[in-house]
Structure 1
């Protein structure tokens, strides 16, 4: 292949090459056992040790206190959206949800099936282009739910709100380990791993001890977080390979210098790309500047330069132009159109620079 490929997919997304090579090797022979990790019993000592090591990596990298449990589950956040209120929101209790994007709304919709879920804010009328910080909070809410980073719309909570009552719950799927957070500020932190720390197939839920067991309903065994905590994530066959990919990705991050080091690089990458967009005559970012994500950067054509009836054809031309340079998966989410560059931890600065150069060259082509 003539050009190095840079994958800007929003998820599943780019992972460190080192982690991919190690995971690939483990598919043939896991830790010199002569057995593929895909064929090894989850109750074997090597797998149990790998799970314990993965949890320890998470604790070290995120600064997770000992009074928090960590649960690895399949099913994606689409399952967690219902599991969380099922475990934490009683039938007659209230929970506040900050509606800042599609995924926040999906979580909110599921919560309404279990208790009194209220919208603390909702910027749908503005295409979720900003985060409303003036939250309408309940006096007696069990928790406040926020989506830390909005993958589709490119907005991010830079300062997390504090609940009026109860605890703070955050979906951190698309900025997991991309920046430093204080876990102690939250009762629950959760996310799908396929955007920043592993392949598809596993979620991580971090739960402060003492919060479970307070709802007055019968919870099905598999949907009860306490089931998995008591069984040390081995109640049933867990997503072993996805956890191993996470293990290797966390090891890569640890060797890189940890979250502080990667956050510095992430902010530098985001600044580079946003600067190019802010100085472009053809392209323009869509998220409010004060809420811009350091992970997902959506952008569109400047309507003052590109006529509406020309935009679709020109968009196809730009995507082909970028693809020819090895820049792939830049098409925007189907619900908003345009373009989107997801610049997760494993995206090197060189990839972002290549995109910046591409934007500049395409602009020259458009403007003549």
Structure 2
């Protein structure tokens, strides 16, 4: 059998970092696809071939070897949990995330013995706060589920994805895999049902300020050192998230832009927006009917912060050209991760 699974990217309208502490977040799937092609031949000896197109890497592992490598990764994660080293010591190479996915799936559902061939290609903007890791995780998990004809609930699939994502980010809130699984616009909060929301088609733009100098995990760690679980700033995030949701539901553009600006101010307060990006957003906010914010974890060092969401009827071309930033129209993906069967066993 051969399958092709596609997973959208995601942006956060509100709730960055705050969702880790129990606050709600608003997440939107966007049309930047990660592709995962998987083929399986049960007659061949147990073997895994993995091609990572974005890194121009090809790997091949017999079953005992990849499982041994996965055990080493888990050992590094347990050391991180004991505060021996940072989260960046866990996954040391791009292939490590794929090995972790295979290992956790194998422990949960027993991977079929045979020849697996995996080819993964992300969208052109990894490490920009678009949920690239979650897209890889879910596209591969969905592929494996399809190949093994498993009946797995979304709840169980998300729990597995969140466990795997914690090896990448240290403390997974779960909002990225939830958004990528469901698609569209949704409200996410721990221990509450996911609430799909109408998008109503507001006009926006995604602006690439570049790869953040620090990872999502490092940003989460830095914020956690300064702002504890009971800090009042998380209630401020909750309040602004509620206002953004109301503005979206009532199609109130002015209220939406005002609340987006308030969210940006809170992100600056927790220290995840570099000064260059602060200056850039200040210039954007001077334009008529325009408001902007970073739509991912941001960065705690360097001058780039990943993607910026700009709500505006007009393309921010002149300012982006001044800063050397690429921009594109915001395209919502109403569908979450999905798989096609390219070749059947029948």
TM-score (norm 2): 0.28
Higher relative contact order (CA 8 A, sep 6+): 2
TM-score (norm 1): 0.27
More strand as a share of residues: 2
